[in-house]
Amino acid sequence: MDSEKIKKRHEQLTAQLSGGLVVVSSYDQVQLSNDMVAPFLQEANFLWLTGITLPGWKVIIDGIRQHVVLVRPSRSEAEVIFDGKTDEEALLETTGANEIIDETDFETRLRQLSRQHTIAYTPYRPHPHHFVMNPAPAELHSLLCRIFPKVVDCSDQLARLRAIKSPEEIAAIRRAVKLTIMAFTAVRAQLEEYRYEYEVEADMTRAFRRANAAHAYQPIIAGGSHAVTLHYVENSGRIMKNQALLIDVGARVDGYAADITRTYCLKPTKRQQQVHAAVENAHRRIIALLRPDLLIADYLRQVDEIMKDALGEVGLLKNRDDTETYRKYFPHAISHGLGIDVHDSLGAPRYFQPGMVLTVEPGIYIEEEHIGVRIEDDILITADGHENLSRALSTSL
């Protein structure tokens, strides 16, 4: 990314915040075990605003003065020896920032800025998760609250800007999709060879690492009833030729994710064929809906009708008003935005707009029959409709 593009993003954001002061933190490194650090992935807003993939940094964007300050984390000599030096000249050049200050001067700088700005904007919206949140955004938020009279969450403004992808971002997603399709195609071609789910995972990982890429999220390789657990990531089960195998895998390339699912079966039963055909048909019909200016509420209404048709076709839904049964067999969202984050917020817009990228991922999960089928593609909304970025990968069983 070059500094001109970063500058434009800063201008877009501060224009929405009446020229305000924006302060954003990268993520901190977190413990994996004892003195080992977990693999690091940058916070998406910080990455979008700076291109910096390092932990512990912060950025101050003063929209009035068009002044950008990077804040370096204080590191001991030992940390530098273990983790390497940072080329700060290069950071200034690629980000277009005006200066770099040390973390020890961060609070003083914020206090100075609080004389000119009563509001500090930062993306921070705590929400309950079944895991511990990265502490850095919350710590920054508390610090800002001690210094500024008012601290305002700018997650929505950032999400809406990030939702409309630039041509360069779309190109990166295309590369991620292409690599993911390559990995799927290779696995599909030798499906008979696999005895365990982890063998499929290993080949996917190999394909990604050979291309200097990585998984964008924990891969899901789920045979038979494992597919009913939506985020099954153990990938340790035996693969049976007469059971469906759900593979939900995506590469991250140049910071952007793909997110693709296919469900295969070597010796499908009539029932597996029937369920797969119903999901495939729904998937095709739902993608056909996508175009700019479609109200998202309308999209979701039509998706419900299509998914109810699908469940009706396989005999699981007798009464279309039976919401409980409907949600039992199709318990997750049909779509989510895709970008730096695998689940990239679209910023709760009313309409689809050109430049948005989202998944379409219908599924039917029948615990009592040990069948889970999902088909997921990555779709770009274009000026006059949509483009299925992952269409080259066959959806067949």
By the criterion CB under 6 A, which residues form the site for ligand GLY? 217, 248, 259, 336, 361, 376
Question: Helix 106-113 to helix 135-147 angle, to the nearest 10 degrees?
Answer: 50
Q: How far is the CB of 194 from ligand GLY (least distance, A)?
A: 20
Residues that contact Mn ion, how many (by CB under 5 A): 5
Residues in region 41-80 near Mn ion by CB under 5 A: none
- Measured from the CB atom, the residue of 62 and 378 that comes closer to ligand GLY is 378
Q: Which of 169, 197, 248, 341 binds Mn ion (CB under 5 A)?
A: 248
Residue 299 · residue 352 · CB < 8 Å: yes
DSSP state of 337: B
d(CA 140, CA 123): 10
Q: How far is the CB of 359 from Mn ion (least distance, A)?
A: 4
Residue 62 binding result from Mn ion, ligand GLY, none, given CB thresholds of 5 to 8 Å by partner type: none
- Measured from the CB atom, the residue of 154 and 358 that comes closer to Mn ion is 358
Residue 344 binding result from ligand GLY, Mn ion, none, given CB thresholds of 5 to 8 Å by partner type: none
d(CA 86, CA 90): 9
Residues in region 350-379 near Mn ion by CB under 5 A: 359, 376
Residue 197 binding result from Mn ion, ligand GLY, none, given CB thresholds of 5 to 8 Å by partner type: none
Residue 217 binding result from Mn ion, ligand GLY, none, given CB thresholds of 5 to 8 Å by partner type: ligand GLY
Residue 95 binding result from ligand GLY, Mn ion, none, given CB thresholds of 5 to 8 Å by partner type: none
In this chain, which stretch among 32-40, 176-184, 189-197, 246-254 interacts with Mn ion, using CB under 5 A?
246-254
Q: What is the 3-state secondary structure (H, E, C) of 166-178?
A: CHHHHHHHHHHHH
- Measured from the CB atom, the residue of 258 and 371 that comes closer to Mn ion is 258
Q: How far is the CB of 331 from ligand GLY (least distance, A)?
A: 13
Residues in region 301-360 near Mn ion by CB under 5 A: 359
- Measured from the CB atom, the residue of 113 and 334 that comes closer to Mn ion is 334
d(CA 175, CA 146): 44
Pairing of strands 220-223, 58-62: unpaired
Using the structure block, give the residue that is written with the tokens 């705590």: 126
- Measured from the CB atom, the residue of 197 and 259 that comes closer to ligand GLY is 259
Q: How far is the CB of 377 from ligand GLY (least distance, A)?
A: 11
Q: Which distant-in-sequence residues (6+ apart) come within 8 Å of 58 by Cβ? A: 23, 24, 25, 26, 70, 71, 103, 106, 140
**Radius of gyration from C-alpha coordinates of the chain:** 23
Using the structure block, give the residue that is written with the tokens 């979008």: 48
264: nearest Cα among 276, 281, 251, 249: 276
Q: How far is the CB of 242 from ligand GLY (least distance, A)?
A: 25
Token output for 32: 């994996």
Strand partners, 222: 246
Q: Which distant-in-sequence residues (6+ apart) come within 8 Å of 310 by Cβ? A: 278, 279, 281, 282, 330, 362, 364
Residue nearest to ligand GLY (CB): 248
Residue 144 · residue 106 · CB < 8 Å: no
- Measured from the CB atom, the residue of 43 and 376 that comes closer to ligand GLY is 376
- Measured from the CB atom, the residue of 169 and 378 that comes closer to Mn ion is 378
Alpha helices in the chain (DSSP H): 3-16, 44-50, 77-83, 88-95, 106-113, 135-147, 155-163, 167-189, 197-210, 270-289, 296-313, 323-329
Q: How far is the CB of 248 from ligand GLY (least distance, A)?
A: 5
- Measured from the CB atom, the residue of 25 and 345 that comes closer to Mn ion is 345
259 near Mn ion (CB under 5 A): yes
> Which helix (H) or strand (E) segment is 363 a member of?
strand 363-366
In this chain, which stretch among 2-10, 38-46, 241-249, 344-352 interacts with Mn ion, using CB under 5 A?
241-249
Residues in region 86-145 near Mn ion by CB under 5 A: none
Q: How far is the CB of 10 from ligand GLY (least distance, A)?
A: 30
Q: How far is the CB of 261 from Mn ion (least distance, A)?
A: 5
Residue numbers at the binding site for Mn ion (CB under 5 A): 248, 259, 261, 359, 376
